[in-house]
Amino acid sequence: MPEILGGKPTFHSCILDEDVVGLSSDTSPSHEDVVRIIAILEDAGVPCCFIEEYALIYYGSGRKQNDRVLCVPDDQHKKATDLFTLHDTLLTPSRPSPMGGVGNLLRTFPRFKVVGQRDFWVIVTASYCNLPCKTADIVKSLGGLPYPKLSVYAQSLLDTQNGTDLEELIDGMDLSEEWGEKNLELDVDIDVEWARRRKDAVQAIGGNPAYLGLSTNPKQRRVAWQASVRRKKARMGLKKPAELYATRWRRHESQDPTCIRRNLI
């Protein structure tokens, strides 16, 4: 928002807001710090897994880190929120990130800041991302952090018409059309009922559903999957020559990113 100084409007970037970058005295979290917070839920029997940026990074995307968005079952969302609230020496409730627009549903979920660290967590429901958040659908990284299984996450992104993140996932793991045929349910249409519910929810908080780009007309999953996979080469651009790169994130014969121990992943 502009602020009038000396008769002239000035603009403050929300990128440097304390609710985005934390306090000047904050430190960066360690891997052990992240594991300790996850243990709060797991020790209480609440299944959980990272989605959005951190899931994409785990699966090899070059996406930038943002809030840690943690998915839990709908019927355990309140329990998870209460557990984080009770650990008030470790976590403190935070305002929604100023990076999100008015119609961003992520702003409606509980957000926490780790005390003394530049680390923000948001707890969302499984229905928010159309993801079955069950222990059987979750895989642990080499560092012991939970993520949705690759096929489960790909199916979620396909069914929520999240083409941008689906393409990030495809390129991070160098997925093929054949992989989709073996691991995804492609024989039926995309779940348009979820799209209708998402549009209604966004409208209810004052957002414009038209900006979501969600179609409520039946669309074949297979067609959407094939289109996303077939654009792999086009997404590489001129800086990633095809003789060296299989995708924009992967070189030919490069190691599966989930088999590499990485900090905070």
pLDDT tens digits for range 30-84: 999 999 999 999 999 999 999 999 999 999 999 998 899 999 999 999 999 999 9
pLDDT tens digits for range 153-194: 999 999 999 999 999 999 999 999 999 999 999 999 998 999
What does the pLDDT average to over 115-124?
Answer: 97
**pLDDT at residue 191, rounded to an integer:** 85
**pLDDT at residue 9, rounded to an integer:** 45
**pLDDT at residue 105, rounded to an integer:** 94
**pLDDT at residue 263, rounded to an integer:** 83
**pLDDT at residue 16, rounded to an integer:** 65
**pLDDT value at 12 more than 60:** no
Express as a percent the part of the chain with pLDDT over 90: 80
Element (H, E) at 204: helix 192-204
* φ and ψ of 139, to 5 deg: -120, 145
**pLDDT at residue 13, rounded to an integer:** 53
pLDDT, the chain, mean:
92
What does the pLDDT average to over 138-143?
Answer: 97
Q: Where does residue 76 rank: exposed (0-12), middle (13-18), buried (19+ CB within 10 A)?
A: buried
Select from 87, 121, 124, 106 the least CA-distant residue to 19: 121
* pLDDT band of 23, cuts 50, 70, 90: confident
Q: For the whole model, what pTM was predicted?
A: 0.91
Establish how many alpha carbons lie within 13 A of residue 10's alpha carbon, considering only the half-sphere containing its beta carbon. 6
Q: Give the Cα-Cα-Cα angle 96, 113, 134 (nearest 5 degrees).
A: 85
pLDDT tens digits for range 93-112: 999 987 776 678 999 999 99
Using the 8-state DSSP alphabet, how is residue 124 labeled?
E
**pLDDT at residue 22, rounded to an integer:** 81
**pLDDT at residue 98, rounded to an integer:** 79
CA–CA dist 20, 22 (Å, integer): 6
* pLDDT band of 18, cuts 50, 70, 90: confident
Are residues 22 and 117 in contact, defined by beta-carbon separation less than 8 angstroms? yes
What does the pLDDT average to over 230-242?
Answer: 93
* pLDDT band of 14, cuts 50, 70, 90: low
